[in-house]
Amino acid sequence: MSSLSCKKCGSSAVKKNGRTTTGRQKYHCKACGVHTTTEHAAQERAQQLALAEHLHYERVSQRGIARTTGLSRNTIIRYLKKSTSRRSAPP
C-alpha cells in the first residue's frame, strides 16, 4: 500500500498501477476504482500550459512554444483554441 490518498474519495487504499506513456507513475484506488496520477503531475501540466499561453501572447511561434514547453503542437493548438473561446464568450 502507498501513503497516498485517493483524489476522488480520500481513501488510503491506493496502489501503484503501471506508468503512463510519458513515464509518470499511475495509481489505482481499490475503494472507488479510479485510475490517476499524482497531484504533482497535474500541477506540472498546468504550469506548462500557462507558459504556453504566455509565450503565445509574446508572439512566439507554435513550433517554438512546443520546443520550449515539451508539449506537442496539437496540444498547444487545442489549448489555445479553448482559452481564446473562453475569453471571447459573452458573460
Residue ranges per domain, the chain?
Answer: 1-37, 40-86
* Local confidence band at 2 (pLDDT 50, 70, 90 cut-offs): very low
Report which of residues 80 and 22 the model is more confident about: 80
Helices (H), 1-91: 39-57, 62-69, 73-88
pLDDT in tens, 58-72: 999 999 999 999 999
pLDDT in tens, 20-49: 887 888 999 999 999 888 777 778 889 999
Q: Which three cell numbers stand for residue 11?
A: 481513501
Residues in contact with 48: Cβ distance below 8 Å, sequence separation at least 6, in sequence order: 69, 70, 71
